[in-house]
Amino acid sequence: MGAVKMIYQRVALEELPLDEQKRAVQDIYAYAPRLKLYAVLVPKGEVWSAEKEQVLLRNADSSPYIGLQEAPKSSSVADSVLSNDPGLLQLKPIDPSERLGFKETQELHDLFKLIKGDGISGSQATEQILKISDGVLGIVAPDVGDLKRKLLNNIQNLAMLDDSSALLSLAILFATCNGFSSKSTLRDLSLAIMLMDLPMMDLSNEERQQYFLERPNWSEPLKAKVYKHPLDAYDMVFAKAMSVPDLVLTLVRNHHELFNGKGFPKGVRSETLPNLVKILSLAVETFEMLRCFEIQGESRTLMEVLMMIRDEKVEPHLRRHSRKVCDDVIKGIRAQ
């Protein structure tokens, strides 16, 4: 991909190029001084929101920019080199606490401690987890505009999203590409993702790094925690008598099961499970690969990772994921 020289002009917040519905009429950029790069903060057609403004104020130069074909003589402009597809650039948070969804993850951590310490009733836990789940869902998939385009933009800027928000973006995208797009389905996916990794809240920062960088060859202590966490989460819901749909429980218990039957915790073939389980399992592996590449400082697009998974060089029955599910995701993205 060749590089082109781009010219940017500062725009005051009250002068952003927005239509009457507060949708961007052209791409709006932000500049991260420490990283010395520009990235699309609000793509054309997406709503400028209070959340986007907070991301701008926390992570970047306090003024947004618009791209110009030519620099007007009277303007104060900044130059940078930008790829031909600016959506592929990432505005990386200065600190993980700046990622979208971090607040909700902290709320999950606090809830996990209450559940673990028996400091909350089942009904209270259910109410809190639903509130957190709906909050994350509102961040990654607001009920406005083109959902697939919004989700693809999230994934292109994965470093700006906390783990739960990033995984949910992938799961919803994969589900919609496979024909699952009802509000109830998206809510079930969000709730499952909030619940299924609650036991992993006990991992230290070092263990979390190892989880991504050494997968699946973890140390024995970490492996024991990882292999056990789907059942621990499932049991936690039952122990607190939380009111959760059966499909959500199935997703929680089986989100690491694989097409070839070599997943965990039970090692069952995902072909015997509901289609949404296969979709979530694919989203989990895709997310973990993307995050691993990010941590290592390597750049991989979503399509590159999906093709790695799709073109696995094994016999069909030994594939980790359903070829059809993967093909439908790729087809859905290419149609966008």
Ranges of each domain in the chain? 3-88, 96-334
Q: How many CA atoms lie within 13 A of 225 on its CB side?
A: 16
Torsion sign over Cα 309, 312, 316, 320: negative
pLDDT band for position 100 (50/70/90)? confident
In this prediction, residue 160 carries a pLDDT of 73
Q: Flag the least confident range among 88-102, 119-133, 238-252.
A: 88-102
In this prediction, residue 192 carries a pLDDT of 98
**Nearest Cα to Cα of residue 229 among 183, 198, 269, 275:** 198
Q: Taking a C-beta distance cutoff of 8 angstroms, is the pair 104, 160 a contact?
A: no
Q: What is the pLDDT averaged over residues 306-324?
A: 93
Alpha-carbon distances, residue 119 vs 26, 70, 122, 124, 186 (angstroms): 49, 61, 10, 10, 29
Average per-residue pLDDT for the chain: 84
In this prediction, residue 4 carries a pLDDT of 40
**pLDDT score of 322 more than 90:** yes
Q: What percent of the chain shows pLDDT beyond 90?
A: 55
Q: What is the pLDDT averaged over residues 279-294?
A: 95
Phi first, then psi: what are they for 29, rounded to 5°?
-105, 160
Q: Which of residues 6 and 58 earns the better pLDDT score?
A: 58
In this prediction, residue 80 carries a pLDDT of 37
**pLDDT score of 84 more than 70:** no
Tokens of 36: 């010395």
Q: 96-334 in CATH: which number?
A: 1.10.3210.10
In this prediction, residue 13 carries a pLDDT of 84
Asked if the peptide bond before residue 265 counts as cis, ω within 30 degrees of 0, the response is yes
In this prediction, residue 157 carries a pLDDT of 73
The 8-class DSSP code of residue 270 comes to G
CA 276 to chain centre: 17
